[in-house]
Structures are given as structure tokens and as C-alpha cells.
């Protein structure tokens, strides 16, 4: 057996149990695709990442990420959580406050600010584009939005590597009290080649500017506790409509309360129109994974 350093972290969380969990295998050399998929299936977490030495000039670390069902080209919370894990393990050091992740989506910078439990990490997400703006009564969305009072902006389909439908709801109470129709959300995802539906509402007088819920209908139906990628596509959509909340392109999102979590995601749209998605990370488990590398064929 090969003992590999292994950690489980909580992403977009100021305390254990608040954010989105992630497993990180820090010594992934020798594991093939089948073994990585098997480990991700075994952890049963939303994603498991596997860290390798970088091969691209300028990269500080390389990773691959897997859900229990398949390899994932990019996702926000695994990127942020893995960066925290490699820093803690001493596998990489920031250069001028930046890490550079090498993965299926190319080289992506991560911004590191602060130290210890107060440290925040944000990834510059792949550029998202508006794939479609829907009419308020679009029949494809009717079942998923049935009974929900909508907000001012029309629904939109955004493509940021993963495709998400976005819909503004009238207020936070409407969003928090919504009961997703999983049959309708699964049908929406299947028929439009999307992940599902991300709903959001503006919030006044809170420590956060938006409340968000992300209902995944592609594959296994579930509500995401905290999605950096979905929120990044939402930031790009709001920026395209000159409708960003907060100040100076920065705002905070509350996500996950409806499924027993309490994540805080920090978004920023910079002067170049790039979207940064991040927050704090807490380590929950440190240890080793005993998983035999496959024998050569």
C-alpha cells in the first residue's frame, strides 16, 4: 500500500461544517484515471481533487478534480480548497500574493490574502458568456420557477465551462422558502445541456448582498451547499447588465442554509471584467490515504 497525504477541508467557511466539503489527495503520483474516479466515488463528497507537480512554466501546482460520477474540468470550491491544502502542506508558496493552478481549464491564478484562519483565497474564474436571455414566461423554465415571484432581471443561461440557468427572485424570503421541483429541474438541465437552475435574491441590511441557491439537475439531483463556479457566472451576468450589488465590484453571497450549511462566498469583478470567486477555508481532517496504485499493464 502507498500512504498518500490526505486532507478534508471546508470551503467558503469560517468554521467547520459551514461550507462545502472537499477531499484533497496531496500525493497523487501513480494514480490513473480509474483509481482517481474510484477514490472520488468512495469519498462521496461533491468533489475530490488530486495534486501533482506542475509541468507548465509559471504554475505552482497541478490538479485534477473528480465528482463521484466523472472528472470535472473546472469548479470553484475545489480550486480554492486545493490551494489552501497545498499551502498548508508546504507544496507551494505564493509569488507576489498569487498561486497559479494548472488544470483542464488551463492556467488560472489564485489570489492569497491574509494568514491563518483569516486567510482568504480567490480564483480568477474562466470567462463566462451570456448564451441566452429568456423571456419571463419561457416554457422551459415554467416548471422550475412555478409559484415563485421573480425579480427585475430576466432569466439567463450563462456558459462558464459549466452552463447554468440564472433567475432572480423577488426577495430573500421567496428564495429561502422555495421548494425545488426536482423533476422540472432535471428536465431543464437535460433539455438545455446545463447544470440546472441557480436562483438569487438581493438582500438589504445583511452581512451579505445576495442570497443564492443552486439546484443541480445534471446527473444526481441535489442542492449545492456553496458553488464558486455558479456564483462566478452570476457575477458575470450581473456585470453584463450593470447590476452588481455591493461596492466597487465586490460583494458577498450567502448560500447553503437551506441544506444545513452557512457558506460565505466573496465575489469581485475587477477593472478588466475578470471574475474572482473565493473566501475562507478551514481544514477539518489531516491524515493519510492508503490506496494502492494500479499495477502496470
Q: Over the stretch 171-229, which tens digit does the pLDDT of each residue have? A: 999 999 999 999 999 999 999 999 999 999 999 999 999 999 999 999 889 999 999 99
Distance of alpha carbon 80 from alpha carbon 8, whole angstroms: 13
Q: In the predicted model, is pLDDT for residue 292 greater than 80?
A: no
Cell numbers describing residue 135: 423571456
Q: What is the pLDDT of residue 296?
A: 60
> Of the candidates 169, 157, 223, 178, which has an alpha carbon nearest to the alpha carbon of residue 20?
223
Mean pLDDT to the nearest integer, 231-253: 98
- Among left, alpha and beta (phi > 0; psi -120 to 50; other), residue 69 is alpha
Mean pLDDT to the nearest integer, 64-92: 96
pTM for the full predicted model = 0.93
Mean pLDDT to the nearest integer, 164-175: 98
> Of the candidates 199, 220, 219, which has an alpha carbon nearest to the alpha carbon of residue 145?
199
Q: What is the pLDDT of residue 161?
A: 84
Distance of alpha carbon 124 from alpha carbon 103, whole angstroms: 13
Compute the mean pLDDT over every residue in the chain, rounded to the nearest whole number: 95
Q: In the predicted model, is pLDDT for residue 136 greater than 90?
A: no
Instruction: Say which DSSP state 163 is in.
Output: E
Cell numbers describing residue 20: 462545502
CA dihedral 131, 136, 140, 145 (to 10 degrees): 110
Cross-strand pairs, 3: 290
Distance of alpha carbon 258 from alpha carbon 38, whole angstroms: 30
Mean pLDDT to the nearest integer, 263-279: 97
> Quick one: what percent of the chain has pLDDT higher than 70?
98
> Of the candidates 89, 105, 53, 27, which has an alpha carbon nearest to the alpha carbon of residue 283?
89
Strands (E), 18-174: 20-25, 48-52, 61-66, 71-72, 98-103, 106-113, 120-124, 129-133, 156-159, 163-168
Amino acid at each position: 500500500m502507498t500512504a498518500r497525504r490526505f486532507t478534508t477541508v471546508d470551503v467558503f467557511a469560517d468554521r467547520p461544517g459551514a461550507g462545502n466539503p472537499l477531499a484533497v489527495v496531496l500525493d497523487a503520483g501513480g494514480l490513473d484515471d480509474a483509481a482517481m474516479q474510484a477514490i472520488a466515488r468512495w469519498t462521496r463528497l461533491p468533489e475530490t481533487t488530486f495534486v501533482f507537480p506542475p509541468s507548465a512554466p509559471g504554475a505552482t501546482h497541478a490538479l485534477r478534480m473528480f465528482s463521484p460520477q466523472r472528472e470535472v474540468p473546472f469548479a470553484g470550491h475545489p480550486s480554492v480548497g486545493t490551494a489552501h491544502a497545498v499551502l498548508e502542506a508546504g507544496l507551494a508558496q505564493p509569488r507576489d500574493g498569487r498561486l497559479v493552478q494548472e488544470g483542464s481549464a488551463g492556467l488560472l491564478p489564485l489570489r492569497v490574502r491574509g494568514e491563518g484562519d483569516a486567510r482568504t483565497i480567490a480564483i480568477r474564474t474562466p470567462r463566462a458568456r451570456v448564451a441566452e436571455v429568456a423571456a419571463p414566461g419561457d416554457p422551459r423554465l415554467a416548471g422550475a420557477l412555478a409559484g415563485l415571484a421573480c425579480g427585475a432581471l430576466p432569466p439567463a443561461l450563462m456558459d462558464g465551462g459549466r452552463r447554468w440557468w440564472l433567475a432572480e427572485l423577488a426577495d430573500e424570503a421567496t428564495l429561502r422558502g422555495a421548494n425545488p421541483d426536482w423533476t422540472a429541474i432535471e428536465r431543464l438541465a437535460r433539455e438545455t445541456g446545463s447544470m440546472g437552475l441557480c436562483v438569487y435574491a438581493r438582500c438589504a441590511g445583511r452581512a451579505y448582498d445576495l442570497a443564492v441557491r443552486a439546484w443541480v439537475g445534471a446527473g444526481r439531483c441535489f442542492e449545492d451547499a456553496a458553488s464558486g463556479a455558479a456564483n462566478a457566472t452570476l457575477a458575470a451576468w450581473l456585470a453584463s447588465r450593470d447590476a452588481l450589488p455591493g461596492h466597487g465590484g465586490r460583494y458577498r453571497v450567502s448560500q447553503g442554509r437551506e441544506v444545513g450549511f452557512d457558506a460565505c462566498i466573496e465575489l469581485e469583478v475587477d477593472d478588466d471584467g475578470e471574475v474572482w470567486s473565493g473566501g475562507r477555508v478551514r481544514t477539518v481532517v489531516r491524515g493519510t490515504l492508503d490506496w494502492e496504485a494500479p499495477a502496470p499493464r
